[in-house]
Structures are given as C-alpha cells and as structure tokens.
Structure 1
Amino acid sequence: MQNTFPTIAFSGIGSVTVTIIHAFYQNQVPFKILCRNPDRFQSLGKTPIRFQGPNGKITSIDLKNHLTLADTESEKFDYILIGCKNQNLKEYLEETKPFLSPKGKWILIQNGIPESNFKSYQNQIIGGVVGWNTQTLSDGLYYQSNVGSLILGEMSGDKPNPIWNQILPPHLPVILTDKLNGFRWHKLAINSIINGLAASKRQSLGELFLNYQSRKEALETLTEIKELIQKLNIKEQVVPGSFPIQKLGGGNGALPNWIRHLILIILGLKYFRIRTSMVQDLDNGRTTEIDFINGEVVKTAKELGLPVPKNEWIVSKVKEQTNKTN
C-alpha cells in the first residue's frame, strides 16, 4: 500500500498544517517537512509536537524522520502543502518551485481567495478550504476544537485525485470538489466575522456574539458579502458544520432576525473563550491577514461598484489595532 502514496511535502508549520500532519502521522502516510531555517529544523527534531483532537486524545508526533533542510533537499514532490500567511505566499511558492515534480501541485490552505493572485499557476494549484479551528495553547499544545473537513478543489475547476480519500480519513474528513469558489466565498464570509469583526474589537467569540450590537454588525457584514456573492454569480457551497450565508445574511432567503441572532449566540457560547487567528495575531503584535479577508470583500466590491461600508469599517478598525500593537 505504501508504494502507492504520492510524494508529499509541507512548507510552513502552523496550526492548520499540524492538523493535516496529524492525520498523515496516524495513517502512516510518508511526508517531508521542508525547513527554511536550521534553528527550526533543530527545534522540531528535538521535541515531538503535541496535538489534541476534538475527541480529547493527545498524540505526540515525532517529526525527526520527516524533517529536511530546504536548501539541501533534492527530491521532487507530487504535492507541496503551503502553510504560510497570505502575505508570504508568493515568496513560499517561489522557494518551493524547484521541489515540485513536473506534474506536481501546490495545495494552498490559506484563508481568503489565495488562488486569485496566482492565475499563471492555474494548472499547478489546488485550493484547500479548512473547516476546523486549531489553536496553539500557551503550553505549546496544538488544540483542534471542532471536527472539520478539508475541502480540496483544483484551480482549473476539476476535482482533485481521489487518493486524498484514502490518505486523510478518518482523522480528517475530505471533500473533493469542482466548486472551489463556492466554498472559498462561504468560508471568507464566515472569516469576515469570526476573524475580521472579532479582531476589530479584539474579542473572543463569546465576548463578540453575546453582545447584541456586535451580532447586529456581524449580520450586516454577512449581508454585504451575500449581495457580493450574488453579484459574482457564485453558488454558495456550505462548509460542513457551518451555516449558509444565504440564510444568515439579510434580504431574500434570510431566516427571521431572531433566529439569525440565536445562531450567533449559540456560536458564542460554544466557542466562548476562542480567540481566532487574527485576534491572536493582534495579541502577539503580528501583521494580520485583514487585507485578504474583509479586504478581499472591499476590493472585489469596489470593482463591481457595490458598497460594503461595514466591511470597510472592519478593515480600518483592524489596521488601527495593528498600528497600536506595533
């Protein structure tokens, strides 16, 4: 069986990539981690990483035999998963280009619509939409708080190789799609409130969604994106475990207002203490991805002449917060 696996590498190790690595590790799927700097190579090789899934079980993952220094690697890979922030994506693609086999593909697991910036690589990119939340806790434990799928779709509009159905489940469910854009825009809308709006107020999801005014702002944000998706003629594809923007946003097809508020209250109670990635970036003085989340909405809406004042407000507020922390 092992001989039938494609060759797979990771460039960039963080909460999302560690969740995928955990599934590979459990399923004994071979993979390599392309380390960009020797210090990272040493630290990852010295201490196993600890991962806790939604079932509560903690796994120790020894990466020692999976590490390689990028500047000494000569192998070519069928797939390279890129685990960096959007703002570093171009640099990571250029650095890993020599390691891609002639028919190889990058897998982009960033938030937003990362593929839109790399149209020249249309046949070499698979988009990966992440349907789970994993955080790094203060003791270094990677904690996945909810069961979620990895949704994979070719940038060219095809479904990816079905081998992914064999190498990630049951630890990570997979959906192979030819409707990548529909999933991307759905996830972008969700991120616009749980990341963008939460960061604009520097709040946990509990603080955010248990406040009436913040819920009202969240629904306004989603309504703007719903109108934008309709204007783009994109059919929304709902990430499993999530909720349709067509029903959460206002206008045609919307649920009654009190139900929309109730859904956000339940979300706030369920993930009360969660500080999502953009809030954590502000907490730690890092640059956020706001330009690639609500900023993507603002940019696309401007091209279509559609007003999105709430998303514009979020972008400006997050940038204010960034300036305060830097």
Structure 2
Amino acid sequence: METKELSILVIGAGAVGGITAALLKKDGYNVEIVSKYPEYATLISEQGIEVTGACGNVNAKIPAYASVGEVKGKKDLILHATKATDMIEAAESVKSLLKDEGYVISMQNGICIDDMALVLGRNRLIGCITGWGATMDSHGKLTMTSTGDFVIGYPDRAPDDFLQSVGEVLSTVVPVKLTDNFMGHLYAKLIINSCITSLGAICGLYLGRMLSIKKVRKIFIEIIREAVLIADKLNIRIEVFGDKLNFYKFLSGNNIIADLRRHLFIMVIGFKYRKLKSSSLQSLERGKLTEIDYLNGYIVKNADRFHLEVPVNRAVVNIIHEIEQGKRKISFNNFSDPIFDRFNN
C-alpha cells in the first residue's frame, strides 16, 4: 500500500497533534482528528488549523470530531497525541477503530508506553519521541517554535518495512530517525524532562535563572544518578540525548574536576535555553494536572519494584502532587524542603 493511501486518525488537537495533522493534510494524506472540545472540532473542520513558525505558514481544514464515537471506519494509523493524564481513557476509546494490522503511535511525554500496552497490546504500538517544539497560541492557531526530528521505533523489536513506511509519513512534518533501541531514546528524554520540566514546575523559574543556582544543579545531577541506577535495573541502554549528552560519561568521575565539568555543562544548557518555561509549570498555572507520574514518577515506581532508594525523585513527585492538590505554592522555597538540605553546600 502506498503511504498516501493509509487512513490516519490523530487523537488530540493540541500543539503537537494539531501541527502534525495539519502538515499531513497539506501533503495529501487521508487524515482526521479528534478534539475533546466540540467548538474546537467545529473550528478545525470549518476554518482549519493555522500553523506558523519553523515549518512555514499552513492552513489546513481537517475532518474533526469531538469524540472517538463520531469517527467512521477503521484506521491504519492512530497518532495518540493526548496528554499523558488523558492517555489511558483515550487508548481505551480507540481500540475498536484500529484495523487488524494497524498501529497506535504513542506521542506522549514521559514513559507511557507500558501502561498503553496494557490496553492495546505491546505488538500494536509504535513509540514516537517528539524532538521539536510547539505551542498553542489559541484554538486553531499553532506555532512550531523549533525544528528537530521524530525518533520512532517498536518498544522491543527491530524496525521493519512497515516502520519505514510510518517514517515516510511522519517525515512530512520533520526528519525521522528509526531506532532498534526505542526505550533507550525514550528514557533519555525522560531524564531530561525529569530534571528541566519537573524542577521548573516546583520553583516557577525560567530555565536560565533556575540552572544558574548551584543547589538546583546539584539536585539536577542527583536526579540523573537515580534515573541511571533504575535504567540499569530495567536493562535499558540509555541513548545519547540530542547527540550531545551521554549520561554515563556525564556521571563518570568523582573528583573536583569531574564535578566542575558537570556543573559547567548544566550551566551551558541553562544559558542556551534560558527563556524556556517548564511545560509542567504552564499546566499548573492553568490549573491542570502535570505528567509527573510518567516522568520522575516512572523512576520512583520502578525503584519500588526493585526495593531501591531514589529520595530526590520521590521528593520531586511528592512536591508536585502537593502543588496540584493546593497544599503548596509554586516557589523556589520548595527547595528548602529538608530532603534537599544535603545540596546546600
């Protein structure tokens, strides 16, 4: 089958899902989209999604629905682009829409693929890591804020001809890399998000200011140490992140020079992306739940499986849950919690 003949459904019309759907439609693919907001679904169908930014200017009218129940016919590919907090419910709803040889493509932040496999089966899943930036300015107006790539792969087997075809489809949006170590790539991104996204949600600072503070950098390093410990127990070989950050080399060495090297590396990240605002922080500011259970929470859950201690990641999870519950405020003072006292010097 030619890739243009594939029937594609996108679940979630946020920044990533919406831009992906719009660019696929512009290139002639048979694509539909589901938004849980009826007025937004109507807008997409009647006026289209307007995309600007790094991908140029695009306006695409796409058949859109307010619920999966309105979708007709089974699909070859379902691009699952909801927030992790909506992931299980959405996965349950699309099971009946998948063709016998179809696949669901998981596009969530964090490691959701294990939970999704419980609903859909691991053999029906393709993982997809989004390596480009996007934001929703308002319903129907989306911006690709930075270029990058997709990394796709099966959870636990090598790429095949069908995955190559999926890569051809998604290359309409950005370049695509196929991998036989998808979990290693996904875990690498989880570590970064567990540091940058989660710590930003706790303190409310932009990345540049946050990483200029030595105590935060020490916490950042410890999150990585604990995450690598759990990866080893899970037999996950962590890939180099962004072709630059090798976590094993980053943690190597226990002397002053090695520690200085780690701090300088983090400071460079902070300077380069100094205006970055945590996506979890933005969720909290909108009164929404974060994806913490699929970031640092994934590390904690697996630490409990192996009876290992990951006190910093556990503290991060607890603090963010308390912010979600209204028991704490977003504040740098959250780093004064006694669990972080050992990072004061």
TM over 0.5: yes
Over 3 Å counting, the alpha-carbon distance change for 1:52 and 1:249 in structure 2 is: farther
- 1:12-161 to 2 correspondences below 5 Å: 12-54=12-54, 58-63=56-61, 65-68=62-65, 70-120=68-118, 121-137=121-137, 141-159=141-159, 161=162
Q: Aligned partners of 1:284 and 1:15: how far apart in 2?
A: 16
Over 3 Å counting, the alpha-carbon distance change for 1:213 and 1:35 in structure 2 is: closer
Q: Aligned partners of 1:49 and 1:74: how far apart in 2?
A: 21
Deviation at 1:171, TM superposition (A): 4.0
| Residue type at the aligned position of 1:105 | Y
- Would the aligned equivalents of 1:219 and 1:250 in 2 still touch at CA under 8 Å? no
Question: Is 2:6 the counterpart of 1:6?
Answer: yes
Deviation at 1:34, TM superposition (A): 2.8
1:222 counterpart (204, 224, 228): 224
Deviation at 1:35, TM superposition (A): 4.0
- Would the aligned equivalents of 1:195 and 1:279 in 2 still touch at CA under 8 Å? yes
- Would the aligned equivalents of 1:27 and 1:168 in 2 still touch at CA under 8 Å? no
Over 3 Å counting, the alpha-carbon distance change for 1:5 and 1:48 in structure 2 is: same
Task: Report the TM-score, using the length of structure 2 for normalisation.
Answer: 0.84
Instruction: State percent identity of aligned pairs.
Output: 27
Report Cα offsets for 1:232-290 as digits up to 9, x if no partner: 221112343552222333558x9822232222222222222221211110111101111
Deviation at 1:22, TM superposition (A): 4.5
Over 3 Å counting, the alpha-carbon distance change for 1:234 and 1:72 in structure 2 is: closer
Q: Aligned partners of 1:138 and 1:6: how far apart in 2?
A: 30
Residue 127 of structure 2: SS of its match in structure 1? strand
Of 150-159 and 280-289, deviating more is 150-159
Over 3 Å counting, the alpha-carbon distance change for 1:125 and 1:205 in structure 2 is: same
Structure 2: where are the runs of 5+ without partners?
A: 331-345
| Residue type at the aligned position of 2:157 | G
Equivalent residue number for residue 247 of structure 1 = 249
2:189 counterpart (187, 191, 208): 187
Report Cα offsets for 1:202-258 as digits up to 9, x if no partner: 222122212222111111111111122123221112343552222333558x98222
Over 3 Å counting, the alpha-carbon distance change for 1:139 and 1:92 in structure 2 is: closer
Equivalent residue number for residue 180 of structure 2 = 178
Report Cα offsets for 1:93-112 as digits up to 9, x if no partner: 12112211111111111122
Of 186-195 and 19-28, deviating more is 19-28
Residue 163 of structure 1: SS of its match in structure 2? helix
CA RMSD of aligned residues (A): 2.8
1:276 counterpart (278, 289, 294): 278
Q: How many residues align?
A: 323
Residue 192 of structure 1: SS of its match in structure 2? helix
Deviation at 1:292, TM superposition (A): 1.2
| Residue type at the aligned position of 2:131 | G
Q: Aligned partners of 2:29 and 2:57: how far apart in 1?
A: 16
Of 303-312 and 150-159, deviating more is 150-159
Equivalent residue number for residue 303 of structure 1 = 305
- Would the aligned equivalents of 1:149 and 1:240 in 2 still touch at CA under 8 Å? no
Deviation at 1:68, TM superposition (A): 4.1
Over 3 Å counting, the alpha-carbon distance change for 1:166 and 1:118 in structure 2 is: closer
Give structure 1 regions of 4+ aligned residues with deviation exceeding 6 angstroms: none
Q: Aligned partners of 1:18 and 1:263: how far apart in 2?
A: 34
Equivalent residue number for residue 209 of structure 2 = 207
Structure 1: where are the runs of 5+ without partners?
A: none
